[in-house]
Each structure stands twice: as structure tokens, then as C-alpha cells.
Amino acid sequence: MQKLVLKLLLVITIITFTCSQTLYTLSNHQNATSKNKKDSEQTSMTTESPMLSRDSLSQLKAILIVAPHGRELTKEAIKDMKETSNYLRSVGVNVFEFYDKEAKWDTITKASNGAHIFVYCGHGSTLGLKGIAGGLYLANKSFISARDILKELKLNKNALVIMNNVCRSAGSSADDTSDIGIKKATDRVSDYAMPFIMNGAAGYYATNNIGPVAPILKRFFKKQSIKQIFIHAASGWDKIETTQKFGNFAKYEISITSSAHQDSLSRIVILHGKQILKKFAPYNSYDLAYVGIPTFNVLDFFK
């Protein structure tokens, strides 16, 4: 009996040691992979063109907007936008912020005169020039149409416009329940971008990924073009579905990515006047897009 117990203890010891070694090996592999990735990213960033001087960046103006879109979502969005604001201020950019109840169109338009960077986070709408997608939803339940933007928003020539987690701005919307297809996604992005491009913006960038847009601006200030930034962002999880000429704007192109949902989606829908939880099959979504001059970079602000 004693020999049997000793044999069992020996087997347990061997198994424990083997598992520990396996975990140790996996941990080392993960750490090495993480380190290699970090080193690669650092090398990539250090080989880029150096950022402009603080004196140059102090000539720039940025407008940051977080419109009301649910108490908790707005709170988190403001937190992320403040991170972007802190970065811009740290490099010398003049920043004007409009959050929640302070996101009013009349004060935004006054402050945004001559702005180089315009960032909006909030609800999307269907008030575009073609009625497909476009416009803003601000404080006091104010809907701002694409025509309002075209007429009243006077950004600087060659401005950069960023839509941060805005339904339809990058293609997909929170109320989509199936793959809308690349054509519909392209129509949505086109309608959203159009008033800004017509007003002279050189770049429109839209992402449905939640979080600060400071990483985008950091690359932009290191003189990366809007297309380079877009391709880098798409390289992780997304597939570039289309890149084509944008309307009648000879120098501009539009490009949109797709990504596949791996799991089924559950959403509350209204059926016969009642709210029910319904499941939908996995489908492609369109969460990253840009419209602009492919070579557009920070140096174009000073032309």
C-alpha cells in the first residue's frame, strides 16, 4: 500500500512539474511575442519622420465634440476625448472642447472658424445631402443636417475630420442586424463625408472602434498620410473591401474595411408592440473608412 502511495505521489509530482514547465514556456513565449511586437512598433515609430515643432503645432486649432448619447456612454466618451485633448495640448495645439450639454451648434460654429481638426463622437443620423447618412445630433436634441454643416461650419482649408464611433459614418450602424453590403456602406460613408469635402476638408476618417483618437493624431503629426494611417489601422483585424475614386473629386478616394462577427448577436427589438430579445446570425460589419486625398498629411495644414 505504501509503495502504491509513493508511486501516486511521484506521478502527481511529474504532472505538476510538466504543467508548470508548460505554463512557464507559454508565458515566456507570450512575453517574447509581446516584447517583439512592442519592439517592432517602437522601431516603426522611431523610423518615421519626426513630429513638427511645438511652435508649428501651436498654429493649429482642434474642435472636440462629445454629444449626449446615453449617460454612461457619454461619460466614457468624454473620458476618452479628454485623453485626446490632453495629447493635443501637450504638443501645443489649441483645443476647444464641447461635451454633453455644452455641445451646442451655435457655440461650436463660432469656435470652429478656421479649425484644422474636427472630431465628433455621438449619435449618427440620416440627414445627409442624399438622405442616406450624415449630420450631427447635439445638445438639446438638436439635429444638425449636412446642409447646416455645408452652410455654417467654416473649417480651415485642408481640414481633418474624424468621426469617432458614429453610426453610419464608417458604414455600419448599431441597429444593423445583417450584412448591409459594401455598396450601402459606401453610400453611407459618402453621404457623411460629402459636406466636409465640399467645404474643402482634405481628409475624412471614421472609426466605430471605441476609444480615444489620439493614436491616429500621433501618427498624423509624425507626417504619415491619411491613407497610411488607414492601412495601418486596417491591418490588424479588418479587410479592405473597396478603394475607389470619390465622386467628382479627382484627387480624392474612398476606402472602407469589413470585419466578420464571430458570434451571434442578441438585440432587443419591438415586435407587435412588445420588446423581445432576438438573436441574429454572425455577419460582416463596416467599421473603418476614409475619404480624402491619399497623400494628405499634417504639412498640408500649412499650405
pLDDT of residue 108: 98
Higher-pLDDT residue of 279 and 110 is 110
Q: DSSP secondary-structure letter at 134?
A: B
pLDDT of residue 134: 98
Q: How confident is the model at residue 42 (pLDDT cuts 50, 70, 90)?
A: very low
pLDDT of residue 174: 86
Q: How confident is the model at residue 271 (pLDDT cuts 50, 70, 90)?
A: low
pLDDT of residue 43: 34
pLDDT of residue 264 exceeding 70, the answer is no
User: Mind listing the pLDDT tens digit for each residue in 243-255?
Assistant: 999 999 999 999 9
Which cell goes with 25? 514556456
pLDDT of residue 166 exceeding 80, the answer is yes
pLDDT of residue 41: 39
Quick one: how many helices (H) and strands (E) in the chain? Answer: 8, 12
pLDDT of residue 138: 97
pLDDT of residue 277: 74
pLDDT of residue 46 exceeding 70, the answer is no
Considering the chain, what percentage of its residues have pLDDT values greater than 90? 69
Summarize the confidence of residues 180-186 as an average pLDDT: 97
Q: Measured between alpha carbons, how far is 40 from 23 in angstroms, rounded to an integer?
A: 25
pLDDT of residue 6: 33
pLDDT of residue 203 exceeding 60, the answer is yes
Which cell goes with 236? 490588424
* 61 beta partners: 94
pLDDT of residue 27: 32
pLDDT of residue 54 exceeding 70, the answer is yes
Q: How confident is the model at residue 7 (pLDDT cuts 50, 70, 90)?
A: very low
Q: Is residue 62 a contact partner of residue 116, using CB atoms and an 8 Å limit?
A: yes
pTM tops 0.75: yes
Question: What mean pLDDT is reported for the chain?
Answer: 84
- Name the range with the highest mean pLDDT among 19-23, 70-74, 144-148: 144-148
Higher-pLDDT residue of 203 and 277 is 203
Summarize the confidence of residues 150-154 as an average pLDDT: 97
Q: Measured between alpha carbons, how far is 153 from 203 in angstroms, rounded to an integer?
A: 15
Summarize the confidence of residues 159-170 as an average pLDDT: 97
In sequence order, what E strands does the chain have?
Answer: 61-66, 94-99, 117-121, 136-138, 142-144, 160-164, 203-207, 239-246, 249-260, 265-271, 274-280, 284-292
Domains of the chain listed by start with CATH number: 54-302 (3.40.50)
Long-range contacts of residues 82-88, Cβ cutoff 8 Å, at least 24 apart: 83/212, 83/214, 84/119, 84/212, 84/213, 84/214, 84/217, 87/212, 87/214, 87/217, 87/218, 88/62, 88/64, 88/117, 88/214, 88/217
pLDDT of residue 281: 77
pLDDT of residue 13: 32
pLDDT of residue 48 exceeding 60, the answer is no
The per-residue DSSP string of 200-243 comes to T-SEEEEE-S-S-SHHHHHHHHTT--HHHHHHHHHTTT-EEEEE
